Amino acid sequence: MDRYAVLGQPVAHSKSPRIHAAFAESLGQKLLYEACEIAPDELGPSLSRFHAEGWAGFNLTVPHKQAGAALCESRSEAAEAAGAVNTLIRTATGWHGDNTDGAGLVRDLLANLGVAIKGKRVLVLGAGGAARGIVAPLLAEGPAELAISNRNPWKPEEIAAALKPLGNIVPRTHLSLKGDRYDLILNATSAGHSGAIPRLPPKLIAEGGIAYDLNYGQAAVPFLVWAKSEGAARVSDGLGMLVEQAAEAFQRWRGLRPETAAVLASLRG
């Protein structure tokens, strides 16, 4: 039976084994999917050993997405743009790295939530691996403007410069956002894990604007509370993105795209 796993540290909390088991069952696919705790300095040797043992594929989560990219023998365009991989696909001689986070986010916004990106002013908060992974797929949807703002002001500049061939990304700082309005604000920071939000000026959300947190569970609460208090017309956490990025990975491994609605409903339940 083909074997898959999510590799991370910590990883015990991961919902990926449950999501992939549900996908496999819904499609009648026989496979094994587990969570493996791997320390950063073990990733390279572990991937070599897993290849020799015949594993079929992996998801990488914190802290392995960027280091994993360097360990792949080839990478998709999405992985190159993101500088990070979250999905490894077995090849005869090693691992092909892909990044399905951005595709998962865009699918959650467009297909699940009915949120338009085209022609909208979009702001991404944060400039870490997740932000870098979502900007190219967001650009591809034709926003009127795509801005990135971060606590460390240099990182948005770096992302905008690195991805210039793909389109115009406007690097900003949180402070400089004062007076601007956005139709869609995406929180791609990890601040919520410590109960915080980025320090933002007031009145950032345009009338009818939408706030989306890539985090879910308790980590999404501070930003979504802030967004409601600032008048967001709609808010959403990132649980749908998690399920959709998993569906994209499943499709790359198995050639079949699972239905996601029932799995998402079950996780929310």
Ligand X SMILES: NC(=O)c1ccc[n+]([C@@H]2O[C@H](COP(=O)([O-])OP(=O)(O)OC[C@H]3O[C@@H](n4cnc5c(N)ncnc54)[C@H](OP(=O)(O)O)[C@@H]3O)[C@@H](O)[C@H]2O)c1
The 3-22 contact track toward ligand X, x by CB under 6 A, reads --------------------
C-beta closer to ligand X: residue 46 or 100: 100
Considering only residues 6, 71, 124, 214, which one is a binding residue for ligand X as defined by CB under 6 A? 214
Q: Is 190 in the site for ligand X (CB under 6 A)?
A: yes
**Beta strands, E only, 84-181:** 87-90, 95-98, 121-125, 145-150, 170-173
- Asked if 222 and 191 count as a contact pair (C-beta separation under 8 A), the reply is yes
**245 forms part of the interface with ligand X (CB under 6 A):** yes
Q: How many CB atoms neighbour CB 10 within 10 A? A: 11
Task: Select the span of 13-21, 88-96, 165-173, 182-190 touching ligand X (CB under 6 A).
Answer: 182-190
Q: Which stretch binds ligand X (CB under 6 A): 3-11, 128-136, 202-210, 225-233?
A: 128-136
Torsion sign (Cα): 67, 68, 73, 76: negative
Q: Provide, rounded to whole angstroms, the least separation between the CB of residue 214 and ligand X.
A: 4
**Residues 64 to 123 in contact with ligand X, rule: CB under 6 A:** 101
**Which of 3, 151, 181, 234 lies at the binding interface for ligand X (CB under 6 A)?**
151
**How far apart are alpha carbons 194 and 51 in whole angstroms?**
36
Rounded least distance, CB 63 to ligand X, Å = 8
How many residues bind to ligand X according to rule CB under 6 A? 26
Residue 238 neighbours by CB distance under 10 Å: 25
Residue 75 and residue 123 in contact, taking contact as beta carbons nearer than 8 Å: no
Q: Does the protein bind ligand X through residue 215 (CB under 6 A)?
A: yes
Judged by CB under 6 A, which stretch of 27-35, 112-120, 236-244, 258-266 contacts ligand X?
236-244
Segment lying near ligand X (by CB under 6 A), choices 18-26, 28-36, 214-222, 248-256: 214-222
CA distance 2 to 242: 22
Among 88, 109, 131, 249, which residue sits at the site for ligand X (rule: CB under 6 A)? 131
Binding flag, residue 155, ligand X (CB under 6 A): yes
Q: What is the largest CA-CA distance in the chain?
A: 57
Active site residue 164: no
Alpha-carbon span 57 to 67, nearest angstrom: 16
User: If we measure between CA atoms, which residue out of 177, 235, 178, 233 comes closest to residue 206?
Assistant: 233
Say how far apart CA 246 and CA 260 lie, in whole Å: 9
Distance CA 180, CA 115 (A): 20
The residue within the footprint of ligand X, chosen from 241, 247, 249, 264 (CB under 6 A), is 241
Report how far residue 159's alpha carbon sits from residue 181's, in angstroms, rounded to the nearest whole number: 22
| Chain residues that interact with ligand X, rule: CB under 6 A | 101, 126-131, 150-152, 155, 188-191, 193, 196, 198, 214-216, 219, 238, 241-242, 245
List, by residue number, the catalytic residues.
65
